[in-house]
């Protein structure tokens, strides 16, 4: 089920972001430093001013954020990223 974000979803949003970014960075040729979302003022601000939606199937498996006509974020749990949502 897709639903509107509620504040109690925030810890899970942070967790999904972290796991997804770490998975993405593992393919880089050089080692990059990971900046958690809660410490990234620019990305966090952009997320907070967006309309956030979560996909939930017993637990939150992904989220997306829209600002006006722009998709600002689209993240899914790494183990779910090959499963149709």
In the chain, domain spans: 2-80
User: Across the chain, what does the average pLDDT equal?
Assistant: 90
H-helix segments, the chain? 10-25, 41-48
Please check the confidence at residue 20 and state whether its pLDDT lies above 60: yes
Distance CA 41, CA 44 (A): 5
pLDDT digits (tens, 9 = 90+) for 42-79: 999 999 999 999 999 999 999 999 999 999 999 999 77
What tokens does 79 get?
């183990």
């Amino acid at each position: 089920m897709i639903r509107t974000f509620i504040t109690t979803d925030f810890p899970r949003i942070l967790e999904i972001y972290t796991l997804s970014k770490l998975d993405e960075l593992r393919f880089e040729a050089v080692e990059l430093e990971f900046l958690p979302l809660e410490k990234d003022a620019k990305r966090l601000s952009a997320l907070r001013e967006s309309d956030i939606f979560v996909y939930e199937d017993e637990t939150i498996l992904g989220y997306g954020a829209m600002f006006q006509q722009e998709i600002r974020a689209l993240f899914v749990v790494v183990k779910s990223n090959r499963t149709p949502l």
